[in-house]
């Protein structure tokens, strides 16, 4: 019942936004300037992008190029940030070594160091993946460290008293306790990485949803811009739902400790 009510409220909020947009489009309040396209023109652009593509690539090819870069960086970030984060949470020396680097990079806007990455790694996918990797790494690392450091000492003390060794304490106590927060960091990292995707595709890209939106902006194609934003938003929501599903399957004890 509660989920249905929440879903109804969400649908109503989306309906109100679409209603205002439609009314403004019909009245010409927004669309007369050409800066905001009508819903009909955005739908037409989506259909055209799906069938004919944009600048020689179909919409699926643009999505494939973007998700190759994003998912490669995302997977690398998970494989490195989770071990480093868990280790830093348990070991003060490792945390002291990692924190200055992470805290320095974390607040920097991506464009501040993207030019340096391009100079070092060239204009290919390497610099783009590296940029997305940095964007995804820090949220996961911070979440892992916070998750481990907040584990009550009594949990590990009781396990040690019952005869568990350090390896068993990690797998049976630390990791299960930290897993919900790790997933929160992973979901945050994906959103951060996706928002950095446009910046990653600014330099010498010829395909990708972010590049498509930027190129359309150069030509004043607001219908393509809005269509690209819509595609990015929907695919982002779908991937987040997949992460939520994985969380429910892998961490069923979330909220019950």
Confidence of residue 85 (pLDDT cuts 50, 70, 90): very high
Residue pLDDT, tens place only, 118-165: 889 888 888 899 999 999 999 999 999 999 999 888 888 888 888 888
Confidence of residue 82 (pLDDT cuts 50, 70, 90): very high
Q: Give me the count of residues in the chain.
A: 257
| pLDDT for position 87 | 93
Residue written as tokens 């990653």? Answer: 200
168/111: higher pLDDT: 168
254/229: higher pLDDT: 229
Mean pLDDT taken over the chain: 87
Q: Does residue 256 register a pLDDT over 70?
A: no
Measured from the Cβ of residue 125, the count of other Cβ atoms closer than 10 Å reads 16
User: Rounded CA gap, 47 and 41, in Å?
Assistant: 10
Q: Does residue 33 register a pLDDT over 60?
A: no
Instruction: Summarize the confidence of residues 180-209 as an average pLDDT.
Output: 87
Quote the percentage of the chain above a pLDDT of 70: 93
CB 193 within 8 A of CB 136: yes
Quote the percentage of the chain above a pLDDT of 90: 36
pTM above threshold 0.75: yes
54, β-bridge pairs: 57
Instruction: Summarize the confidence of residues 70-74 as an average pLDDT.
Output: 94
The CATH fold assigned to 37-250 is MetI-like fold (1.10.3720)
- Residue-range domain boundaries for the chain: 1-36, 37-250
| pLDDT for position 29 | 59
């Amino acid at each position: 019942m509660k989920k249905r009510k929440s879903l109804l409220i969400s649908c109503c909020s989306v309906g109100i936004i679409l209603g205002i947009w439609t009314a403004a489009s019909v009245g010409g309040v927004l669309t007369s300037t050409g800066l905001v396209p009508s819903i009909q023109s955005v739908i037409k652009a989506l259909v055209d992008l799906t069938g004919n593509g944009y600048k020689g690539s179909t919409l699926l090819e643009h999505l494939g190029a973007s998700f190759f870069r994003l998912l490669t960086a995302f997977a690398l970030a998970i494989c490195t940030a989770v071990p480093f984060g868990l280790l830093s949470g348990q070991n003060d020396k490792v945390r002291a070594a990692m924190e200055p680097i992470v805290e320095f990079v974390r607040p920097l806007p991506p464009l501040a160091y993207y030019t340096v990455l391009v100079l070092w790694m060239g204009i290919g996918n390497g610099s783009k993946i590296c940029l997305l990797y940095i964007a995804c790494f820090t949220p996961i690392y911070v979440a892992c460290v916070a998750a481990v450091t907040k584990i009550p000492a009594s949990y590990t003390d009781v396990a040690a008293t019952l005869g568990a060794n350090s390896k068993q304490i990690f797998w049976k106590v630390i990791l299960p306790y930290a897993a919900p927060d790790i997933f929160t960091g992973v979901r945050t990292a994906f959103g951060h990485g996706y928002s950095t995707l446009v910046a990653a595709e600014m330099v010498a890209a010829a395909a990708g949803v972010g590049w498509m939106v930027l190129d359309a902006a150069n030509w004043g194609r607001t219908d393509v811009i809005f269509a690209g934003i819509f595609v990015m938003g929907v695919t982002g929501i779908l991937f987040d739902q997949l992460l939520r599903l994985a969380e429910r399957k892998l961490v069923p004890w979330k909220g019950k400790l």
